[in-house]
Every structure is written in C-alpha cells, then in structure tokens.
Amino acid sequence: MNFDATMWSWAAMAGLGLFHGINPGMGWLFAVALGMQERCTRAVWRAMAPLALGHGLAIGVAVGAALLIGAALPPRLLIWPVAAVLIGMGAYRFFRCRHPRWAAMRVGPGRLTLWSFLMASAHGAGLMVLPFFLGIAAPADAASCHAGGDHLHAGWTALAATGVHSAGYLIMTAAAAVLVYSKFGLRLLREKWVNLDLIWAAALVITGAVTLLI
C-alpha cells in the first residue's frame, strides 16, 4: 500500500470514529439522559470516559481478531466474509430500525462501559473499521497481516488504529452530548428526530461494498 492510500485509511479510521460518535444510539443520548437525571453538566462529562472505553474495547476486539486470523490467512481471504457480514447487518437493520430509548438509564461507570461495548459490537462498529485496518496492517502484496513486519509492529498498529478511531468517537460524542444537553435538551429529539438508524444501515451496506473494491 502506498503512502497516500495508507494516509487515506488512517483518515477513514478517524472519520468513522466521528460518524459513530454522532449516532445517538452509540452513546451521547445516554450521556444527555444522565445529565437530565442529575441536572448537571458534570454528569454528561462523567459518562464520556466509560462510553469511549467501551467503544474502544469493541474496536480493539474486532481488530485483535483480525490480527489473529490474518496471521494464518492472506488478508484478501478476509475481505469477502467481512463484506458479507457488513452488508448482511446493514440489510437487517433496514428492516429492524428502532429509535433508541432514554428511560431508566441510571447506571455506574462499569455498566456504562459494558453497555457501550455491547452497543458498538451490536451496531457492527468494529466490522466497519476492519477494511481500513487490514489495508494499514497488511500491504496488498503481503501473504498475511504480519508479513513485512513483526508481531510487535502489528500490535502497535492495532493499538494506534483503535486509539485514532476512539479519539474521533470521543470528540464527536462529547460535542453532541454537551450541545444537546446545554442548548436543546431531549425536546429536540422528540420534535426534530432524524432517523440515523437508516443512515447507519446504509453506511454498513456501503462500507461492505467499498470493502470489495479496495
């Protein structure tokens, strides 16, 4: 993979983090609800670390699994199953779109981290970053994800990719949560709801299609 393609993949990882962060079902709606319950902005900010940690763990698990599988299989063999799962999940969500619920959300940091991990996993967030991570970790002419570099290098690449994506997610989640809480409140969501579930489903399908092209 040339330098321009590698930089594009890193930018895509960060951009997907921003895209994941704007989805209310991935965390910021939960943070706003906690702020409403406790009636303070600090509660919104306290939710950020658990949400980002849970999301980052979901990405890390997907990336780590790709590294383990890629140690034995050529990366091109991973493209088809990843694309198929992405397109399948997107098609499924087209028919099962539901608005996130914000009732009964008083939880501690540990449970909030677990909730964020499960939501990111269920939404296919980790799968969405795999095409771009595989492009970074394994050059097109390599026999496996570790060809052209040792295990330590692959591990650092996985950590860096997870960190870049999670940073984008945290920035967008925090911005959306604080803006909605301080300026609009949940009334905005009730009166001017945008069905991001449909956008998310379309993004899954598009990412799967792009995976086949790259």
C-alpha distances in Å from residue 110, one per residue of 53, 54, 103, 174: 10, 9, 19, 19
Q: Kindly state the average pLDDT of the residues 141-160.
A: 62
% of the chain beyond a pLDDT of 90: 18
- Digit-coded pLDDT (tens) for 84-126: 777 787 777 777 655 444 444 556 788 889 888 888 887 778 8
Helix and strand numbers (H, E) in the chain are 10, 0
- pLDDT greater at residue 139 or residue 115: 115
- pLDDT greater at residue 149 or residue 106: 106
Q: Which amino acid appears at position 41 of this protein? A: T
Q: Kindly state the average pLDDT of the residues 21-50.
A: 86
CB-based contacts of 207, cutoff 8 Å, min separation 6 = 86, 90, 128, 131
pTM: 0.72
C-alpha distances in Å from residue 209, one per residue of 7, 42, 123, 128: 21, 41, 17, 11
- Digit-coded pLDDT (tens) for 127-138: 888 878 877 765
Does the pLDDT value for residue 139 go beyond 70? no
Is residue 173 within 8 A of residue 48, CB to CB? The reply is yes
Q: Which amino acid appears at position 187 of this protein? A: R
